[in-house]
Chain A
Amino acid sequence: MNGWLAGLAVLIPLAGAAVTLLAHGLPRAQTVLSLLFAAALLLDASLLMAAVWRDGMVVVQASAWDAPFGISLAVDTLGAVMTLIAAITGLACLAYATAEIDEGHRRAFFHPLSHVLLAGVCGSFVTGDLFNLYVWFEVLLIASFGLLVIGGTRAQTDGAVKYVALNLVATSLFLLATGLIYGLTGTLNMADLSRAVPRVENTGVLNAAAMLLLAAFGMKAAVFPLFFWLPASYHTPLVAVSAVFAGLLTKVGVYALIRTVTLIFTHDPEWINGVLLWTAGLTMLTGVLGAAAQNEWRRILSFHIVSQIGYMVMGLAIGTKLAIVGSVFYLVHHIVVKANLFLIAGVAQRLTGSMELKRSGGLYEAAPWLAILFFIPAFSLAGFPPLSGFWAKFIVIKAALDERSIAIAAAALVTGLLTIYSMTKIWGEAFWKPHPAGPVEETGAPRAMVVPIAALAACTIVIGLFAQPFLAVAERTAAELTDPSAYAAAVLGRLP
């Protein structure tokens, strides 16, 4: 029974893509079906999370081919949490999209592509096989290409060129690393790899393969110095699309980093963690400084994705249990907050007519409710207590200080301060300042836009005020991640 829940996390969005494609000629039916499948995915992900929490890791051997010969689906707490949060974000953004997209966008296969994207994201979270992970990466990549250019403005074509170019490079590196690792160990099953990699004698080639893999995932996760595709493209597509991208895509890269570093490349932690720590610090600082120089809603937010990725990588790089708790907590908090901020940017554009802060303003008077809804994720992002971002930052920085990593803790604190600067800039320009073209009309926004935003803001508040259960999940995740032998035993079963 539990096994089906893991399989369905991929099958439901794939079926959703097929069904919405078949309903292409029926606009209303397609929208309803799309939301139904997204809701079904959320239900399945919740049940999966409950099953993993109750019974431990869920492992499925596809077609009853025993590991390591077949493809294993292996869902530990981290996989289940990520699937759940992906399902929540997917549903919220699809609901928002029903009010945003027009007939042209719908005709460009918005709904089928969104479900393929979700299938790729969920597939990456449930798979236990390195090559299978590559395939899911490609599934979500090709769907994201399609979604990125829906609408077909010139800026989108421009952004897509950069996005496609760097992702093609990352894809090739990932595949090359997979080939090298297969050549060294003779296996691609991640559980089997966690046992085989420490036995590899040729550590030179192994480290080269590890670096290629980290570079590929780093590009996906948008870490320094591989992040340039992100601020070049994320502000161009539809708002719902950019919110899904902002919430989920880079985090798939972070997930893959966490998975491979904790499970597979445990042979030389000092070296890999050293590289990651430098990367994390520079990612945080360059991201937040880039944001400070921007004057457009979504470009500011895009640079903040980069800087926030730094915190997650920082937790991974420190590598203690507490640090990994912080990383996981950060991951969950960030997906909700960041997707929400992009959705709010969309509503703000609708009300004021522009995402350019110069040509925006007067929102506080016209839509005080939006100001409140913006305030929650924005100041959670900056790390104000008692919102979710405070706990996330607190744990990561505490872990750094425990390890006497003063420099990285200082970088994290400075980044937090500069984040406040960016958020107050948006607040001052878009909300307080009067609109340059006269007062904004109090038109309100469609309910389909406001409900997802309010729901995600509620998630942020709940995570912040009732942090204990979320911390318990993060602690169990960290306990599992720091003990890869348990993962291997669960997947490989009786094999020696």
Chain B
Amino acid sequence: MEPVLAILIGVLVAVAVWLMLSRNFVRLLLGFAMLGNAVNLSIFVAGRLTRAAPPLIADGAVAFEGAYANPLPQALVLTAIVIGFGLLAFALVLAWQAHVRLGTVLTDEMRIAEPLPEKKEPAS
């Protein structure tokens, strides 16, 4: 199972990087969303995969017996998903604001905060 997931993560990261290299802010955000999924999957795999062994302690027992699934990566991934969702929601609203106020979502054309130096008048 790990090799399949590793390849999937690799593909997701590759697609995400390609999207994030774009000058279009919206594409960058789509790339961020994909990268987030790839990272979450990698945390999931990092916790090692097990089959059909839920992390539940049997009735009457005080500790795990035998192999069991690692519950921690799920907690980490859940936290990361929530945070990623919050960040993405903000960023999408920002992209929309950029479209409304600046009239563009292309980062190359956003030169209001950092204006290009004024061109000197050519001597006639």
- Chain A residues bordering chain B, tally (CB within 8 A): 36
Interface SS majority for chain B: helix
Asked if B91 is at the interface (CB within 8 A of a chain A CB), the reply is: yes
* Residue in A closest to B89 when the chains form the complex, CB atoms: A142
A330 to chain B, nearest CB (A): 28
- The one of A160, A172, A179 that contacts B94, using a Cβ cutoff of 8 Å: A160
Alpha-carbon distance A180/B41, docked complex (angstroms): 11
Question: Do the beta carbons of B46 and A157 come within 8 Å of each other?
Answer: no
In the complex formed, the residue of A with least CB distance to B77 is A179
Q: A157-B102, A161-B107, A183-B47 are in contact. Are A235 and B113 (CB under 8 A)?
A: yes
Q: Give chain A's interface secondary structure class.
A: helix
Contact assessment for A179 and B32 in the assembled complex, using a CB-CB cutoff below 8 Å: no
Residues B94 and A161 in contact, CB atoms below 8 Å apart? yes
Does chain B have a CB within 8 A of A168? yes
Question: Of the candidates B25, B39, B83, B114, which one forms a contact with A138 in the assembled complex, judged by CB atoms under 8 Å apart?
Answer: B83
A488 to chain B, nearest CB (A): 21
Q: How big is the B interface, by class?
A: 35 or more
Q: Contact check, A168 vs B76: say whether CB atoms are below 8 A apart.
A: no
Given the complex, which residues of B lie within 8 Å of A145, measured CB to CB? 87, 90, 94
Residues in chain A near residue B110, CB distance under 8 A: 158, 161-162
Minimal Cβ-Cβ distance residue in B for A145? B90
Q: Using a CB-CB cutoff of 8 Å, which residues 111-152 of chain A contact chain B?
A: 131, 135, 138, 141-142, 145-146, 149, 152
A180 CA to B28 CA in the complex, in Å?
A: 24
Q: How far is the CA of A225 from the CA of B87 in the complex (A)?
A: 24
Interface string of A161-172 (1 = CB under 8 A from B): 110110011011
How far does the Cβ of B28 sit from chain A's closest Cβ, in whole Å?
6
Asked if A159 and B113 make an inter-chain contact with CB atoms under 8 angstroms apart, the answer reads yes
Q: In chain B, residues 61-93, which have Cβ atoms closer than 8 Å to a Cβ of chain A?
A: 72-73, 76, 79-80, 83, 86-87, 90-91
Residue B43 at the A interface, CB < 8 A?
yes
| Residue contacts A-B, CB under 8 angstroms, 18 given | A138-B83, A142-B86, A146-B90, A157-B97, A157-B101, A158-B98, A161-B95, A165-B25, A165-B107, A168-B32, A169-B32, A171-B87, A176-B39, A179-B76, A182-B46, A182-B72, A183-B42, A183-B48
